[in-house]
Structure 1
Amino acid sequence: MIRPEILEILRRWREPLLAGGALLLGLWFIALPGVGLTIVGGALSVAAVGLLIPAIRRVRLQQGQDGAGVVEITERQLTYLAAEGGGLLSLDLITDVRLADRVWHLADSAGNRIAVPADARGADALLDALLVLPGIDAGRVARALQDGGDHILWRQDPADTPALTPPA
């Protein structure tokens, strides 16, 4: 029987643990005699490191799931469902990302604004979507999540903002 606290830690770290196990298996294959096993072990080790680094980053950035509301991302559309303050935002039109007191504040080029708690259910998907913005620094995002202060994490250059044309 495993204690619930330990089980929760293992669940949270399962992806990095699996990638680390694959890395150890790859290194063991490299240590065995034979060119074939060395090649397989090298390929497995490289793939495992490629999976391990983002897995550790995701675990470090996880904020839990007990905040207000639910976040859904479907086809580059962010939907935040909450009793108060929910809304929609296109991820392709985001111009501003700020984190203040563990709440994501997002704005788009159409003038829409949305505030999403970092610990809302599904907020990890939002974090993954934001980390692909050009020039956003994952390390800075991690520090901002741990710090809990007010941080401007990303702003799009106004010259790069897509123009919204009114329907004809």
Structure 2
Amino acid sequence: MIRPELRQILRRWSEPLSAIGALLVSLWFLTLGGWFFGLIGLGGGFVSLAWLLAAIRRLPFRRDIGGPGVVEIDEGAIRYYGARLLGGEIALRDLSEIRLLPLQGRPHWRLKSTDAQALLIPLDAAGAAGLADAFAALPGIRMGEISAALNHPDAAVRTLWVRPR
């Protein structure tokens, strides 16, 4: 019933649109009057704005699934189950470097651990959108820089984060 192009756009923007909806409900609570509904509206408004900001920052990570493999983030570890022989696991506490690089015409994450092991993950692998939350927990990371790199991919290898010493 819904055109495929519109469905794709709505799926990508579903989280920011939900946050905007929650913000509108919070504003409605503010208009009801009284201190009780005012506090509910104010609190909900702050939570909705924080959610909207986080959703907009995660937006570049949300892509159509087209790459091989599955990404899983569980208990402080990033696991990639590759379609062929590729795959592996890196604990977030052992992560030392994040790079964005093109391989075979597709952008990939290159995650390097402190013991020099590397894990290559396609940006469009299933579950790769969850990497935004995992990366946000790293010390000194600039999510705005990562979002900008994802919005404007190029043919060069880009180092996006190095663990501070």
Which interval holds the TM-score relative to the shorter structure? 0.7 to 0.9
SS in 1 for 2:2: coil
Q: Distance in 2 between matches of 1:152 and 1:123?
A: 18
Deviations 1:125-148 (A, max 9, x none): 223211221111111101111222
Mark the CA change 1:77 to 1:33 in structure 2 (over 3 Å): closer, same or farther: closer
Match of 2:108 in 1: 103
Q: Which has the higher contact order (CA 8 A, sep 6+)?
A: 2
8 Å contact from structure 2 (residues 92, 138) kept in 1:
no
Superposition map of 1:118-133 within 5 A: 118-133=123-138
| Identical residues among aligned pairs (%) | 39
Q: Distance in 2 between matches of 1:114 and 1:142?
A: 20
Instruction: Give 1:47 deviation, angstroms.
Output: 1.4
Match of 1:8 in 2: 8
SS in 2 for 1:97: strand
Match of 1:69 in 2: 69
Q: Distance in 2 between matches of 1:56 and 1:9?
A: 14
Q: Distance in 1 between matches of 2:40 and 2:132?
A: 34
SS in 2 for 1:39: helix
Match of 2:143 in 1: 138
Match of 1:42 in 2: 42
Instruction: Read off the aligned partner of 1:156 and give its amino acid letter.
Output: R
Match of 1:164 in 2: none
SS in 1 for 2:99: strand
Q: How many residues align?
A: 158
Q: Distance in 1 between matches of 2:132 and 2:27?
A: 32
**What TM-score do the two structures reach when normalised by structure 2?**
0.86
SS in 1 for 2:141: coil
Instruction: Read off the aligned partner of 2:96 and give its amino acid letter.
Output: T
- The alignment's C-alpha RMSD in Å is 1.7
8 Å contact from structure 2 (residues 60, 151) kept in 1:
no
Greater Rg by CA: 1
Unmatched 5+ residue regions in structure 1? 160-168
Mark the CA change 1:104 to 1:36 in structure 2 (over 3 Å): closer, same or farther: same
Question: Which runs of structure 1 show a deviation greater than 4 angstroms over 4 or more consecutive aligned residues?
Answer: none
SS in 2 for 1:2: coil
